[in-house]
Structure 1
C-alpha cells in the first residue's frame, strides 16, 4: 500500500472514530429545550439555600432537583412553579402561601411547546403527609415500643390513611392527563418520594416515632409511591423511583441522610423534608432516567433570594400555621 493510500485510510478511520465519539456524547446528553417543574414541598425544597422570592411562601429553593436538572440538561427555558403545601387541586387552582403570597395554578406554566415536565405531587392530598408527621411523634410517649400512630389512624378496622391514598391515585392520574393535554409533546416524569424511615432500627432523637410505627410509616410511603407509580402508568408517563435508590439515606442515616428529621435547620431543611444531599441524589436519579451521565450539584442564583430576616419570619409563619 502506498503512503498516500495509508494516509487516506488513516483519515477515514480517524473520522469514523470522531463521529462515533460525537454520537456517543450526543446520546449521553438528552436534548430538551423547555422544562417545567410542578410539585409540592418535596420538589420545592424548603429552606435549602437559597430560597426564591416568587413567592417566598412556596419555599422554593434555587438548589432543588428541578434547578439542578435544568442546569444539567442546559435547557433554554426553565420554569419551576412547585410550592410547599401544594396538592393535586393546585395544578388548576391558585394556592395561598405564608407572608401574603399566592402561587398561581401550576398548570399556568405549561405551554404547547413544553418538551419536558417533572411533577411530584400527591403526598398532601387529604393531608396524608401532614397527618403522619403532625400526629405520630406526639403519640410516641403513650406507647414507645408499640404502634400508637397506626392504631390512631385505624378506624373500625380500616386504615384511613391508606383509604385516602387510594383516592389520591385517581387524582394524580388526572394531573398527568392534564399535563398531556396542555403540553402534548412533552416527556412527562412523575417523581416518587424518597425513603424517610430506615428498613430496620430506630432513631427516636431524629425521627420521634414509636418503634412499631417505623414500619407503619414505611408502609404508608410504600402505598403512596405505589399510587403515584400506578397513576403514571395509567396516564402514559414515566415513573421515577426515588424510594429504592434512597436506601441508606433515610432520616436516621446521619450525614448520609437525604431527608431531615424532626429538627428545623433554618439554613438547610424543614423538618421531615429533603436536604440538599437529597436533591442532588434525586436530580442524579432523574438525569439517569433521561440518559444524562452526570448531574450539576450546585446552582448559583442569578436573582434576589430571601434574607435572614425574611427566612426567620417565614419560619415563624410556617411553625405557627
Structure 2
C-alpha cells in the first residue's frame, strides 16, 4: 500500500472517530459522592477553630473529621453535626432554628458519619462533671466518684443509650438505604491508669473508673452498629496514648485545665484528623 493511501486511511479513521464522539455528546463527569455528617460535639469538632457558617450555637468546626474526610476524598459534604446533640435530636429540633439532623439525609445520600451517645441522658458528660466535683473534695486522692455512683452510669448506658443508638441508626438506614453508614466510638479521654490532676481534675482512683465507663459507652456504640449493619469506627487502639493527660502535640483530646482551645475535654484538630483517618481506613472510603 502506498504512503498516500495509508495517510488517507488514517485521516478517514480519525474523522470517523471525531464524528462518533460528537454524536455521543460531551463526556459527563461522575456525580460527586453525597456525604452527610451527623452527631454531637465530637463529630462537630466543637472548640476547634475556625467555625463553619452553620448555626453558631452548634460550634461546628471547619476542621472537624467530616471536613477532613470530604477534603481528602473529594466528597460533597452536608454537615449538620451540632455540639451537645443527643440521639433524640436526629428526629427533633435541638435548638430553635436547627432542623432535625435526619432532615439532611435522603435516598440519594451515599455516605453518613456520626458520633452519638455521649450526651444521652447526660450520662457520660454528667459522669465527668460529677467525678470532677468529687475529686475536689478529696484533693485528687481516692476514688470518690466510684464510691458515690458505682454502676449508675454504666446501667444508664446499657439500658437507655444503647437502644436509643439502635433506633437512631435504623432511622438513618431507613432514610438512606443505600448509604454507607459509619458511627465512631469516642477517642480516649483518660489514660487507662495514672493521673494528671489537676490538668484533668479526676481523682487518681477514678481515672480507671472513667476509662472503664468510656469502654462501656464505646461498646454500646459498637453493638448498635453491629445490630443495624452500620460500620463501627474503632478508636480504642489508634487513640491510645493520645488522651487528655498527654503533651499538647500528642493528645487528641484537650484537658479541662491548660487547654489550648475553646471547649475543654473535646478533640482538638489533631484528634479530629485522627478520627478522619480511622474512618477512611476502617470504612474503606
**CA distance in 1: counterparts of 2:84 and 2:98, whole angstroms:** 11
Aligned to 1:132: 127
The structural deviation recorded for 1:52 is 1.9
The structural deviation recorded for 1:73 is 1.1
**CA distance in 2: counterparts of 1:281 and 1:146, whole angstroms:** 33
Say whether the 8 Å CA contact 1:173–1:234 is kept in structure 2: yes
Aligned to 1:56: 56
- SS at 1:145 equivalent: coil
Aligned to 1:231: 224
Q: Report the more deviating stretch, 277-286 or 134-143.
A: 134-143
Deviations 1:207-254 (A, max 9, x none): 110011000110110000000000000001110011221011000111
Structure showing greater Rg: 2
Aligned to 2:15: none
The structural deviation recorded for 1:205 is 2.5
Correspondent of 2:164 among 171, 179, 184: 171
**CA distance in 2: counterparts of 1:141 and 1:78, whole angstroms:** 43
Which stretches of structure 1, 4 residues or longer, exceed 6 Å deviation after superposition?
Answer: none
Structure 2 residue 72 is the aligned partner of structure 1 residue 72: yes
**CA distance in 1: counterparts of 2:167 and 2:284, whole angstroms:** 27
Structure 2 residue 256 is the aligned partner of structure 1 residue 262: yes
Gaps in structure 1 of 5+ consecutive residues = 1-30, 293-321
Aligned to 2:7: none
**CA distance in 2: counterparts of 1:45 and 1:54, whole angstroms:** 13
Say whether the 8 Å CA contact 2:36–2:79 is kept in structure 1: yes
Structure 2 residue 240 is the aligned partner of structure 1 residue 241: no
**CA distance in 2: counterparts of 1:71 and 1:269, whole angstroms:** 24
Matches within 5 A, 1:1-321: 33-75=33-75, 77-96=76-95, 102-143=97-138, 144-154=140-150, 159-166=151-158, 167-255=160-248, 256-263=250-257, 268-291=261-284
Say whether the 8 Å CA contact 1:37–1:81 is kept in structure 2: yes
Higher relative contact order at CA 8 Å, sep ≥6: structure 1 or structure 2?
A: 1
**CA distance in 2: counterparts of 1:270 and 1:36, whole angstroms:** 24
Gaps in structure 2 of 5+ consecutive residues = 1-30
- SS at 1:246 equivalent: coil
**CA distance in 1: counterparts of 2:217 and 2:276, whole angstroms:** 20
Q: Relative to 1, partners in 2 of residues 1:32 and 1:186: Cα closer, same or farther, differing over 3 Å?
A: farther
Task: Please report the TM-score for the alignment, with normalisation by the length of structure 2.
Answer: 0.85
**CA distance in 2: counterparts of 1:55 and 1:205, whole angstroms:** 33
Q: Relative to 1, partners in 2 of residues 1:63 and 1:141: Cα closer, same or farther, differing over 3 Å?
A: same
- SS at 1:95 equivalent: coil
**CA distance in 2: counterparts of 1:218 and 1:130, whole angstroms:** 13
- How many positions carry a matched residue from both structures? 252
Task: Please report the TM-score for the alignment, with normalisation by the length of structure 1.
Answer: 0.75
